[in-house]
Amino acid sequence: MTEPLHNQWQLVAKGPHGEPWIVPIESTPFRIGRRDDCGLRLLADGVSRLHAEILREDSALLIKDCGSTNGTYVNFRRLGGVQHLADGDILHFSDQEFRVVRVEQGAQESDCTQMINPYVDVLDQLITGRQVVAHYQPIVRLSDSGVVGVEILGRTCREDLFQSIPHLFRLARQWHRDVELSLLFRDVGLHQLQLAQAKGLVLFNTVPDELAPAALEKSLVLLRDMAPALALAMEVNENAITDIATMRQVRQLLHAMDIKLVYDDFGAGQSRLLELMEAPPDILKFDISLIHDVHLRSSSSLRMVAALVNMARDQGVTVLAEGTEQAQEVEVCRQLGFELAQGFYFGLPGPEIPVME
């Protein structure tokens, strides 16, 4: 249960252009980390999901680390237990620096600054200015290594925003702009493919909030109008599939528009595969966790992977090995029955469009 503070405390930092980032601590416990419920969400590398907490003791504040990987620092010393905070203390959560500021009771309301997230304006500029570029990673047929398609992957043109795309999407989701960002990456990638008159299968990604059938239908109609001749396939992350009935609707909608359905990041687990087959995809991408060093797996582990591959293929699903990096992995995947593959072994994502069959 949170407790309101009678005195106003703030964490103050500098944004990417030196502008103030002021975060009021309005109640305790005040959590810092990457989780959605954190009062201060920091999506930078090195920050843990629940990194630290600020607590109250009478009118004073205390801070404790919550088992973070890279540590919490108070005045440049790593925090070992619980420590009182004073006005002017310097805090580091991994490499993210903040200063503790106490605003005395009786301060004018106009003196109290509201929370400013410096990345909001940068994110807005990125989306409205279409400051992204498309990269393409080849998808090959394992029988002869022929390039049969590409996956569209987005990158930013901004050095003052996260270069890690997962981190960028977490920021966009925090401000309810992840669908816009997803559509932007897709549009830019498809536009380049159209200009190049590319042939072959084109996979594009989605975020969970895109999957509501009514909203999805509108975006897919626009997509088909923009790229009527491309062989399209929409990827849905396995973790985003929580309602099989909805996925049946999505599958029907896609097939009506001649778009294939792809389930991405499929992990080990026969029970999950059986569930997914209630709304079977056209393509099932096996996650890199199953493919990495597959040639070093035990015979029982290989039999398990082979069984999953065969179960999918028996349902008419094309199986793709994702994350192939070594020749030995590729050969074993071929022997296990994978039909398609994608990974650094066949090509890194890049701005050049591979020649497809």
Residue 220 confidence (pLDDT) above 80: yes
User: For residues 80 and 72, what is the distance between their CA atoms, to the nearest angstrom?
Assistant: 9
pLDDT of residue 162: 61
Q: How are strands ordered across the β-sheet holding 77-78?
A: 20-28, 3-14, 96-103, 90-93, 72-74, 77-78
Cα–Cα distance, 334 to 75 (Å, whole number) = 56
Q: How confident is the model at residue 6 (pLDDT cuts 50, 70, 90)?
A: very low
Q: How confident is the model at residue 2 (pLDDT cuts 50, 70, 90)?
A: low
Mean pLDDT (the chain, rounded): 88
Burial of 30 (0-12, 13-18, 19+ CB in 10 A): buried
By the 10 Å C-beta count (0-12 exposed, 13-18 middle, 19+ buried), 202 is classed as: buried
| Distance (Å, whole) CA 164 – CA 152 | 16
Residue 18 confidence (pLDDT): 63
What confidence score (pLDDT) does residue 118 get? 58
Residues 171 and 151: their CA atoms lie apart, in Å, by 23
Residues contacting 348, CB < 8 A, separation 6+: 137
**How confident is the model over 275-288, as a mean pLDDT?**
92
Report residue 321's pLDDT band, with 50, 70 and 90 as the boundaries.
very high
* Helix/strand number for the chain, H first, E second: 9, 19
Measured distance CA(267)–CA(256) in Å, rounded: 28
Exposure of 269 in the CB half-sphere (CA atoms within 13 A): 11
Per-residue three-class SS string for 208-254 = HHHCCHHHHHHHHHHHHHHCCCCEEEEEEEHHHCCCHHHHHHHHHHH
- Looking at residue 224, what is its pLDDT? 93
Average pLDDT over residues 160-169: 74
The HSE-up count of residue 45 (CA atoms within 13 Å, CB side) is 5
The answer to which of 190-199, 204-213, 271-280 has the lowest mean pLDDT is: 271-280
- Using DSSP, state whether 137 is helix, strand or coil: strand
Q: pLDDT digits over 169-183, tens only?
A: 877 876 788 999 999
Q: Name the DSSP class of 282.
A: S
Q: Are 301 and 281 in contact (CB under 8 A)?
A: no
Report the pLDDT value the prediction gives residue 191, as an integer from 0 to 100: 95
- As a whole number, mean pLDDT of residues 316-328 equals 97
158 pLDDT band, cuts 50/70/90, is confident
Regarding predicted confidence, which is higher, 18 or 192? 192
Whether the predicted pLDDT of 313 surpasses 60? yes
Whether 208 shows a pLDDT value over 70: the answer reads yes
> Please, which contacts does 25-33 make with residues 24 or more away whose CB atoms are closer than 8 Å?
25/54, 25/61, 27/2, 27/3, 28/2, 28/3, 28/54, 28/55, 28/56, 28/61, 29/2, 29/53, 29/54, 29/55, 30/54, 30/55, 32/93, 33/66, 33/68, 33/93
For the record, the structure tokens of 166 come out as 């997962």
Q: Say whether pLDDT at 329 is over 70.
A: yes
Percent of the chain topping pLDDT 70:
90
Predicted local distance difference test score (pLDDT) of residue 160: 65
Q: What's the pLDDT at 144?
A: 95
Q: For the residues 239-258, what does the mean pLDDT come to? A: 92
- Say what the pLDDT of residue 109 is: 42
pTM: 0.72
94: pLDDT strictly greater than 50: yes
pLDDT for 117 equals: 58
Q: What per-residue confidence (pLDDT) applies to 110?
A: 38
Residue 59 has pLDDT above 70, yes or no: yes
